[in-house]
Structure 1
């Protein structure tokens, strides 16, 4: 990751008050070791679970509504900002107009970071908070200090500038609310100017259900279905690791090569149906992929979970009686059972 521009502004506002004050830094922050370290920490926090995605409701913006797309159109051109400091100041000032409408919201530090990764340009806008800490002076005396809280992000967004500027219809905005209450996440979404947000975990679960529905509709044998689900899971995992969106068409291409073009078209047809209405691209939440390759269920007295490819092999299911026959019991469980039978 190569940082192109970086600047931090302070927003002063107390909870319970409406008035907010912007303390704007006049020039960009230097891209030094401290900036690189903080940027890496922000990125790691951002890529944790709980991400939502979207796109600008009005990509070029207008005088009414959110000004973020307007300011990007004004200041970002040919993969660089003509005046990043001024862009960030105007953007921060616009942020205040939404912040002042929420008494429960408090101020913090607005972090603007434009960076390039593998030829693609991104912009982070992150609300960071300060916290109280203890420092140690040169004479080993203890003192109270304020430091940036890096255990969690309050509110943050990342825009794929390259995708936005090219007119991409995908969901090029990703954002997180952390533990911010709904009233705060609402004004942050309005500030972004985002259309209907999509939660990555929910979209991933829809993909899992879509994969199962396709296998059932095409009456794909259990073993082949499990192999297909495993490949889909691997594709999703790879995209999650790369922090890139997964294209539904890529899965359809795998269907075409593994089964047939007709079945690939069927997969896309189901994806576009009213029941699923899948986006062309989704961001993957790894934790939501488990049902692709594992079967699980629980009651008050019993919890069971196993890899789906064991079904038909070491685990047999009788649909008529609704019973499972487990042929290879885990050794630790087997020992417990044997000790009880003595």
Structure 2
């Protein structure tokens, strides 16, 4: 990813006697190779996170406590504040949130303004640290702290260009939806002064269900149904990889080229949404994890976990609905080896 770094700064949060402290940087970072490599690594990690939320800044019609962050951001964009002053103000707001939520994690707040493909972005990320062991120049063992980029869970990216062009847009802010639960996401959204507008996971789930219902309505043969799922997955996955949204219209056109039908997926999905009282947005960012449901069956419960590709159903895998029985012909090699050893069967 080729990025043009415009402004960047790091502020430090540390623990001190059971309290969190803040050390503010007084100047921007120099745009050298090390900083560029850090930002490229961070943006790669951010982009590859499968679960993201999409938000916009709070308005007067929204519930929730307003934050100083959007106001300070607007002042910086209008050149009423310098980048350093804006970032310091943001760090103080984050400190207040950390103290309010009783979160004492040490780390660094990185705020970077960069341009990619003629679009301005502001990346706001809390970088955790990890202790490690290294060898110093005297060949002695020494402990050190390093940034743990792979474990970043608090990060958001503001599309500054979209925000300035259309402030009514509901997804010019994207953020990582961490595994630690809603509390982490809510905490970071409170800091940014924004609220989630679009649930990409729910939207993707609606699309998956609409694709299945469409195949049933059109009475597709098993081969056609499999081709439909594969086509939908391939298109959505490519859009996800490129950081682009899924267009139901474009998907519908691609499907119709390969699988002719009486009516389009686009028309069906709109009617299906009305029948099910769900709002399937005609264009939305896909959720990577939910997309896999288009090409895999998987589930777990009662001590059993099963997963297999859709193409295996009716081939190596058979399902009897009357008896709720799943028959698998030919087990995976590693599972077969475990079973043979358990029963004392020579390989």
TM class, shorter-length: 0.7 to 0.9
Alpha-carbon separation, structure 2, partners of 1:179 and 1:33 = 32
Alpha-carbon separation, structure 2, partners of 1:147 and 1:112 = 18
Alpha-carbon separation, structure 1, partners of 2:245 and 2:141 = 47
Structure 1 residue 309: Cα displacement: 4.2
Alpha-carbon separation, structure 2, partners of 1:135 and 1:53 = 39
| Cα displacement string for residues 270-298 of structure 1 (whole angstroms, at most 9, x for unaligned residues) | 24655432334433333322321234567
1:70 paired with 2:82, answer: no
- Secondary structure at the aligned position of 1:55 is classed as strand
User: Please, what TM-score do these two structures have when normalized by structure 2?
Assistant: 0.77
1:121 paired with 2:120, answer: yes
| Cα displacement string for residues 42-73 of structure 1 (whole angstroms, at most 9, x for unaligned residues) | 223322233322232339x9xx6023332333
Please tell me whether the aligned partners of residues 239 and 245 of structure 1 are also in contact (alpha carbons under 8 angstroms). Answer: yes
| Cα displacement string for residues 10-45 of structure 1 (whole angstroms, at most 9, x for unaligned residues) | 23455854xx54322222101111112211222233
Please tell me whether the aligned partners of residues 155 and 180 of structure 1 are also in contact (alpha carbons under 8 angstroms). Answer: no
| Cα displacement string for residues 190-229 of structure 1 (whole angstroms, at most 9, x for unaligned residues) | 1222323655444433322222123224434433232222
Q: 1:141 to 1:5 in 2, by over 3 A?
A: same
Alpha-carbon separation, structure 1, partners of 2:80 and 2:224 = 50
**Which residue among 276, 289, 292 is the counterpart of 2:291?**
289
Q: Which residue of 1 aligns with 2:267?
A: 265
Q: Which residue of 1 aligns with 2:155?
A: 156
Alpha-carbon separation, structure 2, partners of 1:134 and 1:315 = 49
Alpha-carbon separation, structure 1, partners of 2:15 and 2:304 = 51
Please tell me whether the aligned partners of residues 15 and 104 of structure 1 are also in contact (alpha carbons under 8 angstroms). Answer: no
Alpha-carbon separation, structure 2, partners of 1:101 and 1:318 = 55
1:53 paired with 2:54, answer: yes
1:144 paired with 2:143, answer: yes
Please tell me whether the aligned partners of residues 112 and 126 of structure 1 are also in contact (alpha carbons under 8 angstroms). Answer: yes
User: Please, what TM-score do these two structures have when normalized by structure 1?
Assistant: 0.78
Structure 1 residue 188: Cα displacement: 1.3
- Secondary structure at the aligned position of 2:26 is classed as coil
Q: Which residue of 2 aligns with 1:11?
A: 13
Q: Which residue of 2 aligns with 1:100?
A: 99
Gaps spanning 5+ residues in structure 1: where? none
CA root-mean-square deviation:
3.8
Structure 1 residue 233: Cα displacement: 0.1
Alpha-carbon separation, structure 1, partners of 2:227 and 2:181 = 41
Q: 1:88 to 1:29 in 2, by over 3 A?
A: same
Please tell me whether the aligned partners of residues 160 and 172 of structure 1 are also in contact (alpha carbons under 8 angstroms). Answer: yes
Q: 1:82 to 1:307 in 2, by over 3 A?
A: same
Q: Which residue of 2 aligns with 1:233?
A: 233
Alpha-carbon separation, structure 2, partners of 1:301 and 1:111 = 43
Alpha-carbon separation, structure 2, partners of 1:130 and 1:320 = 54
Alpha-carbon separation, structure 2, partners of 1:331 and 1:154 = 34
Please tell me whether the aligned partners of residues 125 and 155 of structure 2 are also in contact (alpha carbons under 8 angstroms). Answer: yes
Alpha-carbon separation, structure 1, partners of 2:265 and 2:180 = 43
- Secondary structure at the aligned position of 1:29 is classed as coil
- Secondary structure at the aligned position of 2:206 is classed as helix
Structure 1 residue 153: Cα displacement: 0.8
Structure 1 residue 152: Cα displacement: 0.7
Structure 1 residue 238: Cα displacement: 0.5
> What is the number of equivalent residue pairs in this alignment?
330
**Range with greater deviation from structure 2 (67-76 or 154-163):** 67-76
